[in-house]
């Protein structure tokens, strides 16, 4: 009974050299004699590989070849000997990728050095490319500080430093996440009353009725509806101030000495105080909007039962106080 199994060779994407290594191990473990190596290879290599071997061996048949000759024909066709300079160029250009670990990077360097024919200087070239191609400048500087650094030592030290950096980053992230929204008491802001010294479940105001929205569960200061309205009111005020500044600049630029310049026939008969009346209307509108916005910003102890008639009367008085005859 044979040990192991050799599958068919994939002529499109398979590595012929790796396939030969595996089948030779199969020959060794199953004690296949030299006379049976070629028949065994032909029987397990598959139809596509056999057709390719028949074409390469023509006019001879594959059965007339030796095992070594059949392997050489397929090797020369499937894996021609690459240029040493081209392979070394690819080796020198290889750098550690952004999401690549040092262990994977070392493995890729070993694979690229296979056809570089470094021979006895293989370890030195691997060490140099490893150090120069690292993405971490901190690890590279640490390796530069080593005396008589060998390839094995460089790999071991790089893996250790990479693990240390990863652990330090994890600790730092956890520290930032746990410190957000936490004060010296180790608690976040209570959504019921705003205090930091207890949890919302332990708040004494959790059953209070909000004086703003009339809902149970929080104080007026923490009312989400009120805070949302305040934010909208503040944004509206800023927009009003910006719009008012632009209107004032337009009013100044369009008038000279308090008189509006009119062109065309009939312009002289128009009131010279139109600019002043427009300014008064603008002051009245701004006063009305300002007082309405101020109503939203009353403190908890202020009376919010002021009627629209009171606001209108106040704005009327304000407009009269600012009125000046043209």
In sequence order, what E strands does the chain have? 255-256, 259-260
Taking a C-beta distance cutoff of 8 angstroms, is the pair 258, 276 a contact? yes
pLDDT beyond 90 at 170: no
Supply the DSSP string of 253-288, one letter for each residue. Answer: HTEETTEE---STTGGGS-TTHHHHHHHHHHHHHHH
Q: Are residues 95 and 165 in the same domain?
A: yes
Rounded mean pLDDT of 84-106?
94
Q: Where does a domain end: 136, 151, 174? A: 174
Rounded mean pLDDT of 60-67?
92
Total of domains in the chain: 3
β-sheet bridge partners, residue 259: 256
Rounded mean pLDDT of 288-300?
50
pLDDT beyond 80 at 323: no
Is 268 within a domain? no
Q: Are residues 244 and 313 in the same domain?
A: yes
Nearest to 38 by CA among 55, 47, 51, 50: 50
pTM: 0.44
Is 267 within a domain? no
Contacts of 255 (CB under 8 A, 6+ apart): 261, 275
Q: Where does a domain end: 78, 96, 116? A: 78
The pLDDT assigned to 47 comes to 93
The model's pLDDT over 157-167, given as tens digits with 9 standing for 90+, comes to 999 999 988 88
Is 57 within a domain? yes
Which range marks the domain in which residue 61 is found? 16-78
């Amino acid at each position: 009974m044979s040990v192991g199994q050799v599958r068919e060779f994939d002529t499109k994407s398979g590595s012929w050299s790796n396939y030969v290594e595996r089948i030779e191990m199969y020959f060794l473990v199953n004690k296949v004699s030299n006379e049976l190596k070629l028949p065994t290879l032909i029987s397990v290599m598959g139809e596509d590989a056999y057709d390719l071997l028949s074409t390469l061996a023509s006019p001879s048949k594959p059965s007339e070849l030796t095992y070594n000759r059949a392997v050489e024909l397929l090797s020369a066709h499937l894996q021609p000997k690459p240029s040493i300079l081209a392979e070394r160029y690819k080796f020198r250009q290889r750098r550690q990728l952004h999401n690549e670990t040092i262990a994977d990077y070392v493995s890729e360097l070993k694979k690229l050095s296979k056809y570089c024919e470094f021979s006895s200087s293989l370890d030195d070239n691997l060490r140099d490319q490893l150090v120069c191609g690292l993405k971490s400048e901190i690890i590279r500087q640490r390796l530069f500080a080593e005396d008589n650094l060998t390839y094995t030592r460089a790999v071991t030290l790089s893996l250790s430093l990479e693990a240390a950096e990863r652990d330090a980053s994890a600790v730092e992230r956890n520290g930032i996440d746990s410190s957000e929204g936490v004060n010296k008491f180790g608690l976040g802001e209570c959504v019921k009353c705003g205090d930091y010294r207890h949890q919302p479940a332990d708040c004494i105001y959790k059953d209070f009725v909000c004086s703003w929205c009339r809902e149970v569960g929080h104080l007026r200061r923490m009312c989400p509806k009120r805070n949302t309205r305040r934010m909208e009111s503040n944004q509206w005020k800023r927009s009003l101030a910006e719009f008012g500044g632009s209107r004032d600049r337009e009013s100044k630029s369009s008038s000279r000495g308090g008189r509006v310049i009119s062109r065309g026939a009939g312009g002289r008969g128009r009131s010279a105080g139109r600019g002043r009346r427009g300014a008064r209307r603008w002051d009245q509108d701004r006063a009305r909007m300002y007082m309405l916005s101020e109503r939203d910003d009353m403190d908890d102890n202020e009376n919010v039962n002021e009627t629209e008639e009171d606001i209108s009367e106040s704005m009327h008085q304000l407009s009269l106080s600012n009125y000046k005859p043209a």
